[in-house]
Structure 1
């Protein structure tokens, strides 16, 4: 009963942890489920659309009208910055007018496109304002206030729907559920006005900050009304361009209902819900499907996509990529302060702890702009040019040159789509390729059909890329088979979409032209298919050659013979650690820092640069060495993590921006106090006496070892493995060249045959520490065989003058037991408690406890931006990676990377 009582708090903690995980999943799954429902509901409607006719309609809009619609859309988007100016006045924020407007534009346009429930906007605002020295409580209060006030404007417009100011009967008849969405949004404003007068609102929002007075709230509501009204007017102006005689009241009514449906869905920009309701509402007024679809496409482009592109351009200049040491520590502290300053309700809006990706925003934004440039080129190639422009281009250029330009536009578009990944990863060679292709693509859009709009866009992206050239410093990045397959599939899908669009966008006026007149200026469907097939082939060929012949990549081949000799010489002047002997296994590569005074043994798994144990070398240079190692890995887009580090170096890792996960504890036996006397050691004493009485003998073989002995030990090893794979990296394995590096303890049966062995691993610390490495025995040996071997090893090590014997680590031992431990460590504690059927965690700890060791913790040190669950899986794969069969391949000469 007492055991059950002790277990209840842990079970309750597990239930709470699982509940929190479920809540996070629900927050993500609800919008996805609603979007899926909308797609299923509108599947037939979307299939009924003639999308090629829609694209043709958009292609032939008057440029002057487009400019007017764009100006109105940008004005509607700019009105959202009014919230920021109200908060700037209320909190007396020390930022200028242009900076306030720029921050508002970046945060709001990104939130419209990629933000679930305001998450993206909140994260961006937090980072931007922190970069200007604004306090965390002020940022928290402003974000919390914005999250509640922005809906007030659409709430007021919804009342206009309900009282008949804006007719919505046509939409309601199509989908009755939309009426509930309108009522829900309409009731928000009066509920908010009541809520903001409660003491809870003041406590939750202000936290010793200036109270949100009536004038601030009234001004914010006014901004919200202006924002939604201008957005609705932009929708009406765009719709009236394509749908003649559309009344403004009807357009605003449809817009309000569609916006309410989009808000209820929680999807970014109301995607799906807004579009379906707007389509149905406009079609209910008698307008054709292809025209209504064109309205939505144009509205999405002008009100969402183009402003977001402008925001990406602003963000590309706003966010720096250089992480200096002082800012790294400040960012870590600031983010922790944000976490602590938020209560539960604010965390829902703030999405704390997820800001690390924002530091990559500049390169990420440029990558998306390059991807969009490739799409623009393909759309330009898939849709026919305007006839008057084609005639003008034909007067200047020949038809074959125009067709060649078309073909090259397809190739360049596909290559830009693939290269956008390299731009996001800040790869220098991708920058040079992309800059050249953007300029070439702009030229070919002119020579193809005088499409100057696309050419200007490509040149603007090229200018942004050139101005940001200092960001691209990496020599390479890990480009594995999964990534290659993903990009091959992406280009195939995009090429298929291009072919479908191109085959259907034949201008309807062609049949009215005289025979053979100007028809040669347009590509037929067969020519489009040939163009995209050729484009795919050339793109894959060029990028494959670049991948195969690239000179700049981090090659990890293990240690050569010269590398190992260099390590031996280094260890004569520097102390090693408990994992140093693993370096001679040959599967790790070596990085030398601080003029070869600090050594980092490492291996690479996916995009992780995994260092085994603590760095070896001058203790005063460890921090500088870590920073040099980080810079080296960053050149190849790798994250440096440290596996099995000791507590002594944790402050140094923390100063360099690392977080920690406890892996377990290592059993260290103090040989000066080790004894078999006393009642607690009765079982060990009995085992030793029994084996000695039965004639078993213990010997320690010093290197070099004879091959016949190693062959006999290999048979023991194979019998112990029972066809299981050897592990590596942090564990030794049976390899003759590796076993030649240290003594081997063997247990001989009475007939003189070896029945068990254990290889030893010195600590390279002036004969202070000895560790056990491989431990193998034959099946059917008497109970207590390994106990006898361990007892004799401890006695032998003590007689040789060693003071500490390392029995190895007990994984997950004493992990996550504290009430306030990390949630990942609490989950690991559950694995330790109940994972005995997969691995004997408790049994291993109990077994080593017989020798009364001191337990010393071991940690995993990893950067904040690395996802811990994924990292743990990658480390398991790294350790389970099959070791190489021979050492000769590893000992071949290689250049130091």
Structure 2
């Protein structure tokens, strides 16, 4: 029995090694499994604590004073703030340019600039998982041809560059102006400067430690800083970005402020850092609280609050509007037939749903906040003369509910649902009319109108007919909704802090009764938001579908025969569930393990409907309360997975050989020719038994299979491997080797009607088979398939092969590569690849895709358990 023949059978991840997380105490395991929920609760707790702190810091401030401060801001200051915002975002695009240069990729600057600008516009404004800058980059750069590990390195570069640059700027500023900042934050200047000095010393030590691009390892992590030129340039870019963004707020502060610009720069850098660390969406409350607390002694608090409101509008909302306007412009010019914009149009189509979703969240929040703020006296008097009181009351109340409706639709927009588009469009148009009655606010009305225009211009992108109300809000969305509602509540308390509460307030209806209207609005909002949250949290899981029946399998067989993926024949095992596309032309085969729905391979069927089927699979798995996983997918599916918010991790490489050019001639194939000659001398006969002839030799095949399992002390596997099941074996031809008329080895063939690809599944032999029997069987099968007109031969996947060896490879690749290099004790990784390499194949990457926030290790564990039919199967080979 040869080593190559033994490894040839094992085409999957090793089932004898532990892929699971290390055994942990119960409380640590609970914390790890509930990490997302715990993080959300802590984030909300931080937000509430900061909210109360701001409320007490503004105890002497009144809403009218803040409004007066807003109106007092001169237009020159606003224009300067907009100019510095443009400068800051221009600097931010250089982060991505440097990151792409660092990983050795070069893309056209317009596409990089649009991606980076959109990523920062969305990340700064929305700032939570599904609408983060990383999600934007993953969607955009996958469309531009970057692999998942390259995108991960870009995201890591920009994150690390910003973090180190922010720490450097803040520390340098505090060293210089620590004495000015100390009184503002209530800490001694010596302590501030000492901390700043320690941080700078640590950064300098880090640069020296990894200077010249040398790789340093910390545990399982690798760190390689850029060369001195790139580091210096990135530091200057970060300084420019932070200085420009700080100047935006500084220009909006009142002229009476008594803090110098250098001192404010250090304060601003600290506030931004704390906002980022808090994980509160957009740093809402945390950033503002630090600024208010620090400047309470340098300026009037109401003026600072007014400046912060304008800063949020200019630096956060305006770039998002511009990014949306840019994609709309590209789309409209494409419709006018401008071929020069083809590449940008494709990129815009990838970014538009996320941009529209983020814009909808922002407009929803503004609409909700407007529902708890009072009308000015002149507007109230105007309404009293032209409108009935019930109209004003209803408009005020409904605006908050429409804001919540827009927020709920935002998640559906990110998933391209047509129902979400209709809900957002109707809500925005209705709100345009109601805001004219409710606030007569130009900003509110203009943003709502712009949202409606954006929805109309991108309407073709929202074509998915899935149910909007069948989509439950996930933890990040629930957290964001809670932050918005809690902010509205804090605004209510702030605006009406001088109004003494009375039960009669609920029943007061008059034009000047702003407090009662706001109370009713916040009550309606709270009830509606609670119902939405409860519906998401308590929604019963959908009953899982049973295994496919004969009619389902017959439909699947017909689809398999009309497509090119030979491995799709594994559906003939009948052990996988099937999810068909709405038109019935394609399907996904998947298995269930724990809380994972694991889809095997790319969807089976025409490629043009893969994207819709991916979304359908995600929705159905989530309706069942499970996490969706795609296992062993090709690069062709990465784009659809990225659109659906999934992250890809490399599993290994698939080997395929071009049969049309396959020959035994030449020095490279000398060993194969020798093995074939030896087979002929030993009297080994090769035969392909057609489907109709398989039942006659089924008993002989079963004997060979039982002998193979006994020798290897192995058990049958499943899911991504076939098992010796008579019904399965009868469905395809079988290639056999006979010695003295007796079958000593066989492999069942996986074929499709297109003849584009062929493969094999089970490969088994007896003790009587000669050494190297699998080499012989492979060669004869490939020669036979070549003569039959098949295009390529699928040799199967080499697990953990081809993972990135770059110095700054993702942690997943580092761990997998380590197992590949040093795991021979448990599984013959290198031997399996070497066996396939005999046939000089072309290697193609294969991936595992999971939703953002889901551990790939956990998903891979579930896949391994599914293949091994549970823990016993895994342990027992």
- Shorter-chain TM-score: what band? 0.5 to 0.7
1:50 alignment partner, SS class: helix
Residues 1:814 and 1:183: Cα distance change in structure 2 (over 3 Å): closer
- Alignment partner, residue 820 of structure 2: 832
Aligned counterpart for 1:773 among listed residues 762, 772, 776: 762
2:382 alignment partner, SS class: helix
- Alignment partner, residue 403 of structure 1: 393
Residues 1:801 and 1:498: Cα distance change in structure 2 (over 3 Å): closer
CA distance in 1, matches of 2:113, 2:730: 69
Aligned counterpart for 1:472 among listed residues 433, 453, 462: 462
Q: Contact (CA 8 Å) 1:744, 1:758: kept in 2 or not?
A: yes
CA distance in 1, matches of 2:169, 2:752: 71
Q: Contact (CA 8 Å) 2:248, 2:311: kept in 1 or not?
A: no
Q: Contact (CA 8 Å) 1:603, 1:611: kept in 2 or not?
A: yes
Q: By how many angstroms is 1:629 displaced?
A: 4.9
- Alignment partner, residue 554 of structure 2: 564
1:382 alignment partner, SS class: coil
Residues 1:865 and 1:313: Cα distance change in structure 2 (over 3 Å): farther
Q: By how many angstroms is 1:369 displaced?
A: 1.0
Q: Contact (CA 8 Å) 2:675, 2:775: kept in 1 or not?
A: no
- Alignment partner, residue 305 of structure 1: 316
Q: Contact (CA 8 Å) 2:70, 2:303: kept in 1 or not?
A: no
- Alignment partner, residue 363 of structure 2: 373
- Alignment partner, residue 250 of structure 2: 232
CA distance in 2, matches of 1:534, 1:169: 44
Aligned counterpart for 2:516 among listed residues 523, 536, 556: 523
1:806-859 CA distance string (max 9 Å, x none): 99857427655989997665643422355578xx4229958997x998585764
Q: By how many angstroms is 1:471 displaced?
A: 3.6
Q: Give the unaligned 5+ runs of structure 2.
A: 1-40, 94-109, 145-157, 205-211, 214-226, 619-627, 641-647, 660-670, 685-690, 737-743, 786-792, 870-877
Q: By how many angstroms is 1:78 displaced?
A: 0.7
Aligned counterpart for 2:296 among listed residues 268, 283, 289: 283
Q: Contact (CA 8 Å) 1:153, 1:227: kept in 2 or not?
A: no
CA distance in 1, matches of 2:183, 2:269: 16
Report whether the alignment pairs 1:176 with 2:162: no
Residues 1:757 and 1:153: Cα distance change in structure 2 (over 3 Å): closer
Q: By how many angstroms is 1:371 displaced?
A: 0.5
CA distance in 1, matches of 2:168, 2:780: 80
Residues 1:869 and 1:828: Cα distance change in structure 2 (over 3 Å): farther
CA distance in 1, matches of 2:394, 2:267: 45
Q: Contact (CA 8 Å) 1:744, 1:757: kept in 2 or not?
A: no
Q: Contact (CA 8 Å) 2:175, 2:193: kept in 1 or not?
A: no
2:828 alignment partner, SS class: helix
Q: Contact (CA 8 Å) 2:824, 2:830: kept in 1 or not?
A: no
CA distance in 2, matches of 1:328, 1:641: 33
Q: Contact (CA 8 Å) 2:654, 2:846: kept in 1 or not?
A: no
Residues 1:378 and 1:37: Cα distance change in structure 2 (over 3 Å): closer
Residues 1:311 and 1:836: Cα distance change in structure 2 (over 3 Å): same
Residues 1:108 and 1:328: Cα distance change in structure 2 (over 3 Å): closer
- Alignment partner, residue 418 of structure 2: 428
Query: Any residues of structure 2 matched to 1:147-158 within 5 Å, and which?
Result: none
2:653 alignment partner, SS class: strand
Report whether the alignment pairs 1:842 with 2:828: yes
Residues 1:479 and 1:744: Cα distance change in structure 2 (over 3 Å): farther
Q: By how many angstroms is 1:436 displaced?
A: 0.9
CA distance in 2, matches of 1:168, 1:843: 59
- Alignment partner, residue 799 of structure 2: 812
CA distance in 1, matches of 2:340, 2:858: 30
Q: Contact (CA 8 Å) 1:56, 1:505: kept in 2 or not?
A: no
- Alignment partner, residue 55 of structure 2: 50
2:392 alignment partner, SS class: helix
CA distance in 1, matches of 2:513, 2:320: 36
Q: Contact (CA 8 Å) 1:614, 1:642: kept in 2 or not?
A: no
Residues 1:528 and 1:309: Cα distance change in structure 2 (over 3 Å): same
1:361-409 CA distance string (max 9 Å, x none): 3332221110011111211123333344334334444444433333422
Residues 1:414 and 1:563: Cα distance change in structure 2 (over 3 Å): same
Q: Contact (CA 8 Å) 2:429, 2:452: kept in 1 or not?
A: yes
Residues 1:861 and 1:391: Cα distance change in structure 2 (over 3 Å): same
CA distance in 2, matches of 1:764, 1:436: 49
Superposed CA RMSD in Å reads 7.7
CA distance in 1, matches of 2:319, 2:469: 29
CA distance in 2, matches of 1:645, 1:264: 39
Query: Any residues of structure 2 matched to 1:478-877 within 5 Å, and which?
Result: 483-484=473-474, 487-488=477-478, 490-491=480-481, 494-495=484-485, 497-499=487-489, 501-502=491-492, 505-506=495-496, 508=498, 522-523=515-516, 527-528=520-521, 530-536=523-529, 561=551, 564=554, 567=557, 571=561, 577=566, 580=569, 582-583=571-572, 585=574, 587=576, 612=601, 626=607, 628-629=608-609, 643=632, 662-663=652-653, 673=675, 727-728=718-719, 730-733=720-723, 737-741=727-731, 760-763=748-751, 771-773=760-762, 787=767, 811-812=798-799, 815=802, 827-835=815-823, 840-842=826-828, 845=831, 859-861=844-846, 877=862
1:437-459 CA distance string (max 9 Å, x none): 11112223334455554233222
Query: Any residues of structure 2 matched to 1:67-82 within 5 Å, and which?
Result: 68-69=73-74, 72-79=77-84, 81=86
Q: Contact (CA 8 Å) 2:591, 2:599: kept in 1 or not?
A: yes
Larger radius of gyration: 1
- Alignment partner, residue 255 of structure 1: 264
Q: By how many angstroms is 1:484 displaced?
A: 4.6
Q: Contact (CA 8 Å) 1:759, 1:773: kept in 2 or not?
A: yes
CA distance in 1, matches of 2:368, 2:310: 21
- Alignment partner, residue 11 of structure 2: none
TM-score (norm 1): 0.54
CA distance in 2, matches of 1:303, 1:799: 68
Considering Cα pairs closer than 8 Å and 6+ residues apart, tell me whether 1 or 2 has the greater RCO: 2
TM-score (norm 2): 0.55
Aligned counterpart for 1:66 among listed residues 68, 71, 76: 71
Q: By how many angstroms is 1:418 displaced?
A: 1.8
CA distance in 2, matches of 1:380, 1:480: 29
Residues 1:397 and 1:440: Cα distance change in structure 2 (over 3 Å): same
Q: By how many angstroms is 1:526 displaced?
A: 6.8
1:523 alignment partner, SS class: helix
Residues 1:53 and 1:402: Cα distance change in structure 2 (over 3 Å): farther
Aligned counterpart for 2:383 among listed residues 368, 384, 393: 393
1:663 alignment partner, SS class: strand
